[in-house]
Amino acid sequence: MMRPINLKSLGLSYYSTKLPGIGGKIRQTLKDFIVEEISLDNEISYCFKENSEIKLNEPTRYLRLSLEKHGVETLRAIQILASSLKISISRIGFAGMKDKEAITSQFISIKDTDLNIIKNIELGNIYLRNYNYIKSALNIGNLFGNHFRIVIRDLELSTEKIEEVINSIRNEISSGLINYFGQQRFGKIRPISHLVGKALLKGNYEDAVKIYLTKVYPDERIDASNARIELKENWDFEKAINNFPKRLLYEIMMIKSLTKFPNDYRKAFEALPNRLQSMLIYAYQSYIFNKILSKRKEKKIAFSDLRINDFVLILDNQGLPTRAVVSTSEKNLTHLEHLIEINKAVIAAPLIGSQTEIKEDYIRELLKEEEIELKDFNSKILHLNRKGGFRPILFSPLNFKIKKIDLDELNQSKNKIKIDFTLKRGSYATVLLDEIIKNKKLES
C-alpha cells in the first residue's frame, strides 16, 4: 500500500501493512505524546517524576541528569540551558533528538559544572532532575531506546472495532516494519533538512541558505510564511531582521551574518550551531536510506529473507546493532540465516557515505538520479567525511499495549485510545503510528 504524497516526497513510499487503519489524530495536546528515554544501562528518564533508582554518586567531570521539556526541540532546550549556565553548548552532551510537539525526558551530560547551580535553575517549560555522575560525556547513540505513551484521538470507530483493527495490525507487523526515518528527521512543518543537506554536499552554499530561509510550506504559521516570501522577493536582510519572528532563532542567526557579509553564503551557514550543520547532512543520508528501502519494496525484494549480497549487522547482547557488518555470500549464507533466526543479527541497508560498498544496481541508479557521488560525502570545504554506515531494514515495537479505549473529551461523540510501546534506538514512533492510523496525513 502506497503512502500519502507528503511522505513519499521524503522517501517513505510504502506502508508495511495492508490493512486499513483506525484513522484519528495525534498530538492534539502535548500530553498526548510522551517520550521517556531509556539509557544503555536500562535506566528510564521518566516524565513528571524522579527515577528513584538513580542515586547521586561520587563526583566526576561529567554530571548526568534528566532534561524534561514541554514543546521545545532538543537543540533549543540545550541552547537555553547553556545560556542560563553561561557555558558553551559543546559542554552539553546528549544521546538522541526528541520530538518538539511532545512532552519528553532524556538524559544529558554537562562537563565541569556545579551541581548546586544546576539545582537552582528555573527554565520555564524545561525541568531538570535525576542527578548522578558518569565517567564520560553522552554522545549521539548512547541510549537503548525510548518508551512512548501515546493518545490517538478523534476516532469514529467503536471500541470493539478499534481493538480489533489494532490487534490485526499488530499481528501483521510481527515480522517487522520497514525501518524508515520518520518525518521529523526532515522537519515536520518544513521538511527541508535533506534539501539543504544535498545542496551542501554539492558545495552550493547559496542554494542551501536560500532553501533554509525562504522555502515556504502550507502548515507553517502565517507570520513566518510572509517573512520568507518577502525575503525571497526582495532579498533585503535589514528588513528581514525585523520581519522574521523571534522564535526563528536559526534563521535570524543566518540573516544577521548576511547583513554583515551579503554574498558570503558559507559564512551565513556556518553561523548555525555545528550540531545543526551535521544534522542537515545526516538528513540527506536518511532521505537516501528511505529511498533505498522504498526501491527494495518496489522491486519486490524480500525484507525478511536473506539474499546473496545482502549486508548483515551483528547485534550485541541487548539486541542493538554493533558496527560489525558482514556481506552475505554462498559460503556464509546458512550461518548468517541462523544468526538472524536467534536474534543475533539483522539484515541491513547502507547509509550512503564516501566509503560505502555498493552491490545493488538499483542503489547505483538511485544515486545517479540524485546526481550524487560517493566522493561528495568527503568534503574539505565542509570539513566532513561521512564514511557511511548501516542500519537495519526492519524494526519491531517492544511491549506494545493497549492501555485504554474510551470517549474523547476533546472531540464530541468520538473515541480515543491510549497505547504504550518501546522502540530501540534509531526507529521512529511516527512510522509505527502511521501504520495504525493510515490517514491521508498523519497529523491535522
Catalytic residue set: 99
Question: What's the angle, vertex CA 175, arms to CA 178 and CA 179, rounded to 5?
Answer: 15
- Write the CA distances from 53 to 145, 308, 321, integer angstroms: 18, 47, 27
Query: What is the C-alpha separation between 245 and 251, in angstroms, rounded?
Result: 9
Radius of gyration of the chain (CA): 23
Per the CB < 8 A criterion, the answer to whether 414 and 162 are in contact is: no
Give the number of other Cβ atoms within 10 Å of residue 349's Cβ.
23
Number of C-alpha atoms within 13 angstroms, CB side, residue 353?
Answer: 15
HEC profile for the chain?
A: CECCHHHHCCCCCECCCCCCCCCCECCCCHHHEEEEEECCCCCECCCCCCCCCCCCCCCCCEEEEEEEEECCCHHHHHHHHHHHHCCCHHHEEECCCCCCCCEEEEEEEEECCCHHHHHCCCCCCEEEEEEEEECCCCCCCCCCEEEEEEEEEEECCCHHHHHHHHHHHHHHCCCCEECCCCHHHCCCCCCCHHHHHHHHHCCCHHHHHHHHHHCCCCCCCHHHHHHHHHHHHHCCHHHHHHHCCCCCHHHHHHHHHHHHCCCCHHHHHHCCCHHHHHHHHHHHHHHHHHHHHHHHHHCCCCCCCCCCCCEEEEECCCCCEEEEEEECCCCCHHHHHHHHHCCCEEEEEEECCCCCCCCCHHHHHHHHHHCCCHHHHEECCCCEECCCEEEECEECCEEEEEEEEEECCCCCCCEEEEEEEEEECCCCHHHHHHHHHCCCCCCC
